[in-house]
Structure 1
Amino acid sequence: MTDTYFFGYGSLVNRETHDFAQTHCARLRGWRRVWRHTSLRPVAYLTVVPDATTEIDGLIAAVPGHDWAALDERERAYDRVAAAHQVSHALPHLPEIALYTIPEGRHDPATETHPALLSYIDVVVQGYLREFGEAGAQHFFDTTDGWDAPVLDDRADPVYPRHRRLTADERAFVDDQLHARDIRLLRR
C-alpha cells in the first residue's frame, strides 16, 4: 500500500496544532494562499487557489493508517484534491499527497463581517517561523493574497480553537508584517 500524506500550508504547518508525527518540509507548485470565507464559518481562513507562477512552503504529514476521517473532519470546509505531482520534498519515495482547497465559486473575499482572526494568523506564522525561519515566514506573507481583509484582534481572548501563545519575538514579527501591509485591525 502506498503511503498517503497531506500538504499543510496554514495552521497545519504549526506542529503544535496536530499530532501527526511523521512530518517533512515541502514545497507546492502552482497554488497560492488566499484569505477567504464561506457560509460554513463566520470568519475568514486560508485556502489555496491555482496560480501557475507561485510556489508555497508547507509541511507534508503522513496520514496514520490511511485514515482520512479525522483530517477530513478538521478540514470540513475544504475539498481534498490530489497534489503529489506538484509537491517537492526530501522523501526517498513518491507517496500520494493531497491538499485541502475550497473550490472556486464556494468562497468569497474576507469582509468586516467575516474577518481573519489574529489568533489564527499567529498560529500560522508561528509555524512558518519555527519551520522556515524569518525568510520563510516572510515568504508566507508574500505568497498569500487577501491581506486587504480586516483582521479581528482576538489575542486577549482567542476565538481560534487551536490558538497558541507566541514568544515576544514571534508576536513582534507578526505585528510588523501586519503593520507593513496597513492591515485594519478590528477590536473585539
Structure 2
Amino acid sequence: MQDPYFFGYGSLVNAATHAYTTTHPAQLTGWKRVWRHTSLRELAFLSVTPADGFQIDGLVAEVPNSDWHALDLRETGYFRSRLPETSLTHGAGAVDVHMYQTHPEHLAPPDQPHPILLSYLDVVVQGFLRVFGEDGVEQFFDTTDGWAAPILNDRVNPLYPRHQVLTPQETELVDSHLADRKVHFILA
C-alpha cells in the first residue's frame, strides 16, 4: 500500500521547516485560508474553511510508513482529516491525502483577536515564493481572510520555532503585501 500524503497550505509549504522530501505543488478547490483565533493559544492559527468558488495553492508531501506521530505533534491544536480526491489536484498520483485544520469548538469569541506572528508569516510566504513564485505569494494573501488581526513583529527575536532567515527581497515582499492590507503591527 502506498504511503499517505498531507496537504499543507501554510508553513508546511516551506520544505525547509520539515523533513518530508517527496513533495508536489497542489491546488485545493472549495476552500479558503483564514486566520483563526482559538482558546488554545494567544496567537492566531492559520486554518482553512469551506468556500465555494475558491481555490488555494499548497503542497502535498508523502508521510513515510504512515508515521503521523511527528506531524501530529507539530500540528498540535489542529485535527487531521482525509480529503476527498475530487477537491485536490496534484502530481502524486492516486494517494490518500490528509489536511489539518482548527477545531471549531476551540474558536475564541470574535471580540478577542489574537495577533499573527510575523516570524510564522515570513516562513509561510518564503515557502509560497519558492514553490509558486511571486504570483503564488499574491494568491496566498488574496485567498486568506483575517488580516484585520494585529501582526506581532518578532523578526528581531523570532518566536516561531521553525523560523527561517529571509533574504532582503523576501522581507520586502512580505512587508509590501502587509502594507497593502494596512495591517496594525505590535512589537514582541
**Is the 1:37–1:110 contact (alpha carbons within 8 Å) kept by the matching residues of 2?**
no
Q: Which residue of 1 aligns with 2:182?
A: 182
What is the count of residue pairs matched by the alignment?
186
Unpaired runs of 5+ residues, structure 2, are: none
SS, match of residue 49 in structure 1: strand
Q: Which residue of 2 aligns with 1:70?
A: 70
Q: Which residue of 2 aligns with 1:147?
A: 147
Shift of 1:146: 0.1
Q: Which residue of 1 aligns with 2:25?
A: 25
Q: Which amino acid aligns with 1:87?
A: L
Assess, with a 3 A threshold, how the Cα gap between structure 1 residues 84 and 62 changes in structure 2: closer, same or farther.
farther
TM-score, normalised by the number of residues in structure 1:
0.94
Q: Which residue of 1 aligns with 2:88?
A: 87
Assess, with a 3 A threshold, how the Cα gap between structure 1 residues 110 and 118 changes in structure 2: closer, same or farther.
farther
CA RMSD of aligned residues (A): 1.4
Identity %: 51
Q: Which amino acid aligns with 2:186?
A: L
Q: Which amino acid aligns with 2:183?
A: I
Unpaired runs of 5+ residues, structure 1, are: none
Q: Which residue of 2 aligns with 1:162?
A: 162
Shift of 1:158: 0.6
Runs of 4+ in 1 over 3 A off after TM superposition: 108-112
Shift of 1:103: 3.4
TM-score, normalised by the number of residues in structure 2:
0.94
Assess, with a 3 A threshold, how the Cα gap between structure 1 residues 110 and 181 changes in structure 2: closer, same or farther.
farther
Task: Determine whether 1:57 maps to 2:68.
Answer: no
Give the Cα separation in 1 of the matches to 2:11 and 2:94.
24
Q: Which amino acid aligns with 1:88?
A: T
